[in-house]
Amino acid sequence: MKLKTPIGIATALVLGTFATVPAASAQEITLRAADSFPSGHYIGANLIQVFMDTVSEKTGGKVAFEYFPAQQLGKSADMLSLTQSGVTDIGYVGPSYVSDKMPLSSVGELPEAFNSSCEGTKGYWEIAKPGGVLDQAEFAPNGIRLLMAMVLTPYNLVTADREITDLDSIKGLKIRSTGGAKELAVLAIGGVPVQMPAPEVREALSRGTIDGGLFPNPSILPYGMEPFLKYGTQGINFGSFVATYVISTDRWNTLSPETQEIMTSVGKAATLSGCEVADGLDRSDKNTLIEGGVVYADLPEADAAEISGILGTVSSEWAANLDAQGKNGTEILEAFRAALANPVN
């Protein structure tokens, strides 16, 4: 097996994590999987693609997949309902795109104390995996079961024309966000949040509809945004993004125990290997962007501290808003913080 690409590395890591289950024990089925990522995007490549390849191999081909990337079945905001209704068996769900149904599940997007994808992902997995406090609060009530998750590397603020030198230079900027916790972060620093899915950002930048956005480095190149970006911050955590792949509970319950065991093991392994790839890409893609002319800069210490202090209030505001709506925002936030402080491999 050639392992020159991130997906090859991730697949090898997953295949090596557990013993082969006899293929004869798995039922013969074909599952549909869908997301909104462009073909080859690192999230799809290192989560669902690795999952499908490994499950098929571990079952001797008895479990097959039909994959519909690049919004073929629907946009990001549609994926939850498409999975619930059975249009797809496995779907990508970004909680911030469905914040009306899963507001608590965007806890992993808050500017909390994690500095890498793997730190955030491991903490999120502990509370969202089947049986976890977040699963009981939102995943299970929505009729879905978590298979894989990735909390992206901490976001930077990237802009088309304005260099970010202090807090005042952010004020009034139209900044792309994904809603939920990210919208609170943009408002807190004086920006104007413009909610839109990632596939629409390139055109929005080219037309001047937005001035910039909050993104991790590995999400810029796949969507072709780099020709329209000149500046980026570094050293400040503006929050993150949670990407999950789920299966409907109804479909899960039709699977044999053997198939469920394989899919559970592969999903966890893909989660842990996928975040490692994301962390590697964060470093390499940043270098590529710098070579292409994007200027990353540290803010003066006092300004960076001021912005970080403001962002530090976002989590408590997020939790309080949800508490006021009768949802357990504080409980979920505290559970996530505890999981971050005590990572489980």
| pLDDT over 60 at 156, yes or no | yes
pLDDT in tens, 158-192: 999 999 999 999 999 999 998 888 899 999 999 99
pLDDT in tens, 123-152: 999 999 999 999 999 999 999 999 999 999
Burial class (CB in 10 A: 0-12, 13-18, 19+), 19: exposed
Q: Which CATH number fits domain 6-14+25-153+240-282: 3.40.50.720, 3.90.79.10, 3.30.390.30, 3.40.190.170?
A: 3.40.190.170
* Residue scoring higher pLDDT (5 or 294): 294
User: How high is the pLDDT of residue 180?
Assistant: 83
**What's the whole-number mean pLDDT along residues 290-312?**
94
User: How high is the pLDDT of residue 113?
Assistant: 86
Distance CA 293, CA 280 (A): 21
Domain 6-14+25-153+240-282 and domain 156-239+284-341 have a common topology: yes
Identify which of 176, 199, 206, 177 has the alpha carbon closest to the alpha carbon of residue 75.
Answer: 199
Count of residues making up the chain: 345
Residue with tokens 């976001």: 155
| pLDDT over 90 at 10, yes or no | no
Q: Which CATH number fits domain 156-239+284-341: 3.30.70.2190, 3.30.479.30, 3.40.50.300, 3.40.190.170?
A: 3.40.190.170
| pLDDT over 70 at 52, yes or no | yes
User: How high is the pLDDT of residue 22?
Assistant: 47
